[in-house]
Amino acid sequence: MKRWILKTKFTIDIVLAAAFIFNIVTALILLFSTGGGGRGKSAGSVNLFDFSSRNSLRLMHDWTGLLIIALIIFHLMLNRRTIICYFKNILRSTSKVAKVEQTCKNV
């Protein structure tokens, strides 16, 4: 497989994992934090880097969620041949996982 494709897949996986962890952290903060806005600021203003504001956390959480969706779609597009190969081999027979991995190794 071409080297740049492997680097692209690896980079997407790393960014996807980081966005996923960040999304979980902001979800937990939003879940357990008390209600309220940005502590004395007007209700309409949202500073993206104000971690004490519930509105800012919600905005970051929503955008990382969208980033995760986009990266998952891109990840599936890059790995579609391997995924299809795995499913074809698994559905075709009751072969062992090692055999399926060996068959799809160079896809």
CA dist 16 and 13 (Å) reads 5
Question: How many distinct structural domains can be found in the chain?
Answer: 1
CB 107 within 8 Å of CB 88: no
Is 50 domain-assigned?
yes
Question: Long-range contacts made by residues 79-83, C-beta under 8 angstroms, separation at least 24?
Answer: 79/9, 81/107, 82/107
- Segment 26-56, tens digit of pLDDT: 888 888 876 654 444 445 555 556 666 788 8
- Segment 60-102, tens digit of pLDDT: 889 899 999 999 999 999 989 888 887 787 777 655 656 656 6
How high is the pLDDT of residue 18? Answer: 94
Give the burial class of 56: count Cβ atoms within 10 A of its Cβ; 0-12 exposed, 13-18 middle, 19 or more buried. buried
Is 87 domain-assigned?
no
Tokens representing residue 75 in the block? 């990840």
Please work out, in degrees rounded to the nearest 5, the angle formed at the alpha carbon of residue 6 by the alpha carbons of 96 and 100: 10
How high is the pLDDT of residue 23? Answer: 92
Which residues neighbour 33 within 8 Å (Cβ) at sequence distance 6 or greater?
Answer: 54, 57
Residue with the bigger pLDDT between 103 and 71: it is: 71
Structural domain of 51: 3-79
Is 43 domain-assigned?
yes
Is 84 domain-assigned?
no
- Segment 58-70, tens digit of pLDDT: 888 898 999 999 9
